[in-house]
Amino acid sequence: MTQQLEFGKLLPVVDSTIRVWETATGKELQSIGKHDGIISMIKYSNNHEFIVSSGWDAKIKVWNAENYNLMKTISDEYEITSFDITNNDKYIIFCSFDFFFLTNFLKICDLSSGEIVHNFELQDAESINYVRFSPDQKFVVTAGDNKVINFRKNPLEQ
């Protein structure tokens, strides 16, 4: 399995299904699972033990990277546009957008418990569609439709 991780054979498709493909041949190897809407992002954990996916169904799903079993589902109220995982694979930060009130949310969640440990309500009228921890984990970087890149102190580092 590690070889597949290194060569990036995991690809989401717009029909909400996560599939593993043989990139050299284009052959589908396995269908892993689904979201109830479009998949917005998918990423392997840093230790390559699990896969995290997010979608417009307001869910983050954590999959076992070895057998592809669903390990955990974290639900939100709004569609999830982006996420990132801390270097130690303990926390995930994700952004979601309330289209009715035009409000962005950044939430940090403990991956083992699924509990939200920090919640930021941002009054940006345009959707934030990119969130990352800085390489040193001291900052959270966001960008979105307003064409502005924001750096915020990572509350986990305080």
User: pLDDT digit string (tens) for 43-94?
Assistant: 989 998 999 999 889 999 999 988 889 999 999 999 998 999 999 999 999 9
User: pLDDT digit string (tens) for 114-130?
Assistant: 999 999 877 665 678 89
Query: 59: which residues sit within 8 A by CB, 6+ positions away?
Result: 35, 36, 73, 74, 75, 76, 80
Q: Domain 2-157 has what CATH class?
A: mainly beta
Whether the model clears a pTM of 0.75, i.e. scores above it, the answer is yes
Taking the C-alpha atoms of residue 92 and residue 82, their distance in angstroms, rounded to an integer, is 10
Domain locations along the chain: 2-157
Taking the C-alpha atoms of residue 68 and residue 123, their distance in angstroms, rounded to an integer, is 37
Residue 13 CB neighbours (<10 A): 13
Q: CA geometry: angle at 21 spanning 20 and 23, to 5°?
A: 140
